Structure 1
Amino acid sequence: MMKFSNLNIPVSDATNPKIVPVNTLNRKTSNKYPCRDPYILLYDNKYYFYQGAGRNGVICSVSDDLENWADPVKVLPIPENFHGIKDMFWAPECHYYKGHFYIFSSVFSNKTNHRCVSVYRADNPLGPFVDIADGCICPKDWDTIDGTFYVDPQGQPWMIFVHEWTSMPDHNGGMCAAKLSDDLTHFISEPIELFRAKDRGEGYNGVTDGPYMYTDKNGHLMMIWSNMYHGLGYFVAIAHSETDTMEGPWTHQEEFLYCKDLRPDFTIDGGHAMILNDKDGVTKILMHGPNGKKRDAEGNIIDFEHLLIYDIVEENGTIKIK
């Protein structure tokens, strides 16, 4: 059994769906793999890298080593009469839970006239994934994005998500969570607000991006998430649950986990991160950076959003990049 995201994932055998072999390795992490909001699932000794592809749905690349990647394949095709009209398939995440694979992603919906997160299920990490939450699992009058999945020590599944600043009266985005039904099709509790973007203090904007939950070896629950700060750009912050439960209260660690110039080797901004235990049991953080194209004085592109990977360690009740 492999350990991933607090869940035991069975290694596939002859009775499990066939997995597409990695034949065409055309992309390398070391060559700046283009991406935004990366999410990688380790399953059956392979890495599955999910990305939103707009009106092409969700695509996935496969790797044996986090360095050499196969050409992407479509895993979530858009059905006829799909309700999404723009902002298609932002920040898809794929989680394994009780024998199925689940993608959490958001689109701007003509059902609600808001951005909304939905849940898609498949029996294979390469799909095809189908919607199981009727297009919107969150409150339909909210703009919601960046859904992520967590199972607490009591076995209760949760979805943590962004109540986006665009639908907040003061443009101060919220980080929220709700309990999920066991089939992950709907909430079984009202969403609770964990914190707001500007709780960190003056100078921070209203963005709450990319929540991801992490429990350390002592059972301490924390969340990594992203915001922006004048002069620093996009960064990764850490919030801590004082009770090690979703209900919190949540407090903000003063020191960033990642931001431009935090260390001499952090030369670009970056964020919307996730945490992965690799095949060797090494804990890694993955994010994109920089947060947008960088141009020289003549307007030529000199850098672009690409995958960043670092090792992390637990230290003094928090996590740090090695």
Structure 2
Amino acid sequence: MSGFLGPYQQAQVRPLRTNVPLDSIVLSDPAILADRPTNTYYMTGTGGLLWKSKNLSRWDGPYKVTQTDPASWMGPNPMIWAAELHAYKNKYYYFATFTNRAVKIDTVKGREIERRASHVLVSDTPDGPYVPMQEATYLPADIPTLDGTFWVDKDGKPYMVYCYEWLQNLNGTIEKIELKPDLSGSVGKGKVLFRASDSPWSREKDEAGKDKPNKVTDGPYLFNTGTGRLGMIWTSWIYDVYTQGVAYSASGTLDGPWLQDPDPITLPNFGHGMLFRTFGGKLLMSVHSHKSVNGRTVRVPHLFEADLSGDKLVIGKPYVPVE
């Protein structure tokens, strides 16, 4: 697959840099694959580009790794959000959100909604190129979906877990859909796992100025605790503060029911996290910080120590990589 070019377009790329400190990289939704066969960390996120590191401290990039079909629903130059890399059955899969801004699928409360969906690309190697598989769409064309992630449930079947965006339904959901065994397409229909309004910690004001749960669901990521409990981190807002919470499945499967922890799991203005283990075996959470600088939103990757040895996910102090 690595030699396959075909009629595909690659993401726009910036000049290659080397030996870049992690906190000098501007990147939303950072997701890190620790790939043992190459002894390399690969970091993706929003933008469709890739960074590489041997020690988590210094990074080379950004490399262009996606090749999408301009004749597909994505169009010639899709926006790419929240990419994740997953190694599965001797292949590498690129879960990401693709947006075709030229296509409008709906208008809700005066806001046009663009064609946006979670999708999966594949490669033989972790650094790509990642190319489309057989299925044209994984999720319905008439709804906006985003932030797809990967999970193999207790039934042994692979699933995509994703968000149905609040822009259309006005109360975002997190849902699952079964994938084919080789992840080349989806099976059946999506199922709601929980809604944004289920959150006890997220807040916003309604049109009358009254307090209510926030409408946003963002960035789901699944994990098992040391006791075998199934959990999910996900992100929303407390008014204007970007915030990450956690939920646990009472059944131990994706079907839940999902019980929301009452308090956020990370510090304010950190979110869209994922978990990975270093080559030394340390569990870390990768997140981005969210702040406004001169009217512009700036997001930077950060690492925090994490612990899954007990019954719950515990987030510790910031992790400083050793060079």
Provide TM-score, normalisation by structure 2. 0.80
Consecutive unaligned residues in structure 1, runs of 5 or more: 1-15, 261-268
- Which one of the candidate residues 26, 33, 46 is aligned to 1:41? 33
Residue type of the partner of 1:33? I
* SS of structure 2 residue aligned to 1:37: coil
Please tell me whether residue 88 in structure 1 is matched to residue 79 in structure 2: yes
SS at match of 1:188: strand
1:130 is displaced (CA, Å) by 0.9
Distance 1:133 1:164, change over 3 A: farther
Structure 2: tracts of 5 or more residues without a match: 4-15, 106-114, 201-210, 317-323
2:312 aligned residue? 318
Alignment of 1:128-139 (within 5 A): 128-132=129-133, 134-139=135-140
Which residue matches 2:229? 220
Task: Provide the C-alpha distance between the structure 1 equivalents of 2:136 and 2:299, rounded to a whole number of angstroms.
Answer: 29
User: Quick check: 1:204–1:227 contact (8 Å CA) kept in 2?
Assistant: no
Give secondary structure in 2 for the equivalent of 1:83: coil
CA distance in 2: counterparts of 1:180 and 1:186, whole angstroms: 6
Letter aligned with residue 67 of structure 2: P
Question: Which of the pair has the greater relative contact order for Cα pairs under 8 Å at 6+ separation?
Answer: 2
Secondary structure (helix, strand or coil) at the match of 2:313 reads strand
Q: Deviations over 1:212-264 (max 9, x none)?
A: 00101111000000000125x1111001100101110001001211132xxxx
Check the 8 A contact 2:2/2:123 in 1, yes or no: no
Distance (whole Å) between structure 1 residues aligned to residue 73 and residue 64 of structure 2: 19
- 2:195 is matched by which residue type in structure 1? R
Inter-CA distance 133–172: structure 2 relative to 1 (3 Å threshold): farther
Does the 8 Å CA contact 1:38/1:286 hold for their aligned counterparts?
Answer: yes
Residues 287-307 of structure 1 show CA distances to partners (whole Å, capped at 9, x for unaligned) of 1111x4333xxx6x7x83100
* Paired residues for 1:1-322 under 5 Å: 25-29=18-22, 31-43=23-35, 44=37, 45-53=39-47, 58-85=48-75, 88-109=79-100, 113=105, 114-132=115-133, 134-168=135-169, 171-201=170-200, 203-230=212-239, 233-260=241-268, 269-290=269-290, 292-295=291-294, 304-314=298-308, 317-322=311-316
Deviating more after overlay: 84-93 vs 236-245: 84-93
Contact kept, 8 Å, 2:227 with 2:309, in 1: the verdict is no
Q: Deviations over 1:5-49 (max 9, x none)?
A: xxxxxxxxxxx989xxxx9633111x4321101111111221001
Which region of structure 1 is more displaced relative to structure 2, 190-199 or 150-159? 150-159
Count how many residue pairs are aligned between Structure 1 and Structure 2: 281
Q: Which residue of 2 aligns with 1:9?
A: none
Q: Which whole-Å CA distance do the structure 2 matches of 1:187 and 1:135 have between them?
A: 10
CA-based RMSD: 2.4
Q: C-alpha deviations, 1:161-198, integer Å up to 9, x for none? A: 00111121xx0000000111101122223211010011
Q: 1:101-123 deviations in whole A, cap 9, x for unaligned?
A: 11111222467832111110110
Is the alpha carbon distance of 1:249 and 1:127 closer, same or farther for their aligned partners in structure 2, counting shifts above 3 Å?
same
The 8 Å contact of residues 225 and 310 in structure 2, kept in 1 or not, is answered as no
1:317 CA displacement: 2.0
Q: Assess, with a 3 A threshold, how the Cα gap between structure 1 residues 112 and 191 changes in structure 2: closer, same or farther.
A: farther
TM-score by length of 1: 0.80
Looking at structure 2, the residues matched to 229 and 188 of structure 1 have their Cα atoms a distance apart, in angstroms, of: 35
| Distance (whole Å) between structure 2 residues aligned to residue 177 and residue 68 of structure 1 | 35
The structure with more strand, counted as a fraction of residues? 2
Task: Work out the CA distance in 2 between the residues paired with 1:308 and 1:203.
Answer: 30
